[in-house]
Amino acid sequence: MRFHLAVASLVRHRTRTVLAVLGVAVAAAMLLDMVMLSSGMRESFGTLLESRGFSIRLAPRGTLPFDTEATIAGASAIVDTLSRHPDIATVSPVLGATVHVVAGAPRTTAFAIGVNAEVQGDYEVERGEDALAGDAFVANDEFFRVTGARIGDTITLATGYSPQLRSFGGQRRMVLAGEARFIYLSRGQSAVAIRLATLQAMGGPERSDRASLFMVAVRESAVADSVQRWIEQAVPRVDAISTREALARVDERLAYFRQMALILGGVSLIVGFLLVTTLVTVSVNQRIGEIAVQRAIGVSRSHVVQQILVESLVISLVGAGLGLGLGLVTARWLNGILAAFPGLPRAIDFFLFQPRAAWTALGMLIVSGILAGVYPSWRATSLPIAHTLREEAVA
């Protein structure tokens, strides 16, 4: 009975109801997007870090991996030290550098990582073969696009350019063995992967036996935090960063996005609340006489309150349903824009859909819809019956 009366009241003023629902849908879409934004990048970054099974990363003291050009000396000794720990399953040293294509393809530059293909966790081979030989390398799709190279081509790479001599140093003729997808690199960044020993040799004495970071995988039964503490004592000249600490540092850098999401999400929720409150209040004002008649013939206050609350809840629920769909569409569009920021890994998402985010947004909208009906309900039930009927009769 209450539901049918509430729906009949909304249908009676179709245009106003439709506009209100659309307004709530826009507010719901923004609210969902802000809930997704507040946790999306952190969750996707955590998934990215854990995707290859490496839970600890060693970087030069005081920096994050590849934040600077600093490297760690004595890479082979560090690998031997770490490998002796019973809870460490894999150690993957990585060296970063810039390489120049000087022959065999149009001249260009690319970011190069030196790794041991057997234990690396930085890329996945999609076509061809891995860089198992010392004179082989793999490249990403951007490198293929810029250079026009094909798998099997022989290309000369160099690690440095001397402005005084106007020549490239550390040149090496190498075979393009395959195409790979680099997990941690940003969109549009040209990249190649070479054997670690080869890239160290190309860099000369300054790069000999050096690495930019070490990726460490612990055994399933091990506790990563205890292994991290052991590494900090065994190799004091590096920072051992666990996935948990890396996420904490990312949280610090993403504080702006979370604050913006909180503010915009709060604004959208308030706008939706005020919109529903205004519509239901106008509806109650137009039906004062009808409500007074109901009260005069014995309809209880609680019945009237429930009818009005159902009206506000129906508007909120229908608007929320439309808004959640609209929010997913706009989130995908906005994610494409923000993901184009330079330096961000391709796998990072600003707006990551999670069922928890949708339920959170829906729950807040339901609570907002119920609260939006409180004032109109109070107004409808607090009017004196006889006086209201007399005024309606005179009018």
d(CA 199, CA 96): 9
Confidence band for 298, pLDDT divided at 50, 70 and 90 = low
Query: Averaged over 243-247, what is the pLDDT?
Result: 75
Query: Whole-number mean pLDDT of the chain?
Result: 80
**Under DSSP, is residue 137 helix (H, G, I), strand (E, B) or coil?**
strand
Whether the pLDDT of residue 144 is over 90: the answer is yes
Q: Pick from 49, 64, 71: which is nearest to 196 by CA?
A: 71
d(CA 93, CA 279): 63
Whether the pLDDT of residue 329 is over 60: the answer is yes
Residue 136: how many other CB atoms lie within 10 Å:
20
Kindly state the percentage of the chain with pLDDT values over 70: 79
Residue 79: how many other CB atoms lie within 10 Å:
17
Give CA angle at 382 (378, 387), nearest 5°.
145
pLDDT higher for 70 or 38? Answer: 70
Q: What are phi and psi of 17, to 5 degrees?
A: -65, -45
Cα-Cα end-to-end distance for the chain: 29
The reported pLDDT for the residue numbered 178 is 94
Per the CB < 8 A criterion, the answer to whether 83 and 15 are in contact is: no
pLDDT, tens digit, for every residue of 299-313? 667 777 777 777 778
d(CA 175, CA 358): 49
Q: What are phi and psi of 270, to 5 degrees?
A: -65, -40
The reported pLDDT for the residue numbered 94 is 93
Confidence band for 345, pLDDT divided at 50, 70 and 90 = low
pTM over 0.75: no
d(CA 393, CA 382): 19
**Under DSSP, is residue 390 helix (H, G, I), strand (E, B) or coil?**
helix
Per the CB < 8 A criterion, the answer to whether 349 and 335 are in contact is: yes
- Token couple for 116: 């041991």
Position 181: which residue type? Answer: R
Query: Averaged over 86-113, what is the pLDDT?
Result: 89
Whether the pLDDT of residue 292 is over 70: the answer is no
Confidence band for 324, pLDDT divided at 50, 70 and 90 = confident
Whether the pLDDT of residue 395 is over 60: the answer is no
The reported pLDDT for the residue numbered 174 is 92
* Helix, strand, coil fractions of the chain, as percent rounded to 5: 55, 20, 25
Q: Pick from 202, 143, 132: which is nearest to 172 by CA?
A: 202
The reported pLDDT for the residue numbered 294 is 67
Residue 109, strand partner residues: 100
The reported pLDDT for the residue numbered 343 is 57
Confidence band for 373, pLDDT divided at 50, 70 and 90 = confident
Confidence band for 235, pLDDT divided at 50, 70 and 90 = confident
The reported pLDDT for the residue numbered 152 is 92
Query: What region, left, alpha or beta, does residue 343 occupy, with left being phi > 0 and alpha being psi -120 to 50 degrees?
Result: left
Kindly state the percentage of the chain with pLDDT values over 90: 16
Confidence band for 122, pLDDT divided at 50, 70 and 90 = confident
pLDDT, tens digit, for every residue of 20-49? 788 888 888 887 778 777 776 767 666 666
Helix (H) or strand (E) holding 106: none
Burial class (CB in 10 A: 0-12, 13-18, 19+), 210: buried
Residue 241, strand partner residues: 57
The reported pLDDT for the residue numbered 276 is 82
Q: Pick from 79, 176, 184, 65: which is nearest to 124 by CA?
A: 184
Whether the pLDDT of residue 335 is over 80: the answer is no
Q: Residue 207 carries which DSSP code?
A: G
Whether the pLDDT of residue 392 is over 60: the answer is no
The reported pLDDT for the residue numbered 129 is 92
pLDDT, tens digit, for every residue of 154-206? 999 998 766 655 667 778 899 999 999 888 877 778 999 999 999 998 888 78
The residues spanned by each domain of the chain are 2-48+253-394, 62-236
The reported pLDDT for the residue numbered 347 is 62
The reported pLDDT for the residue numbered 385 is 60
The reported pLDDT for the residue numbered 195 is 94
Residue 40: how many other CB atoms lie within 10 Å:
24
Query: What region, left, alpha or beta, does residue 60 occupy, with left being phi > 0 and alpha being psi -120 to 50 degrees?
Result: beta
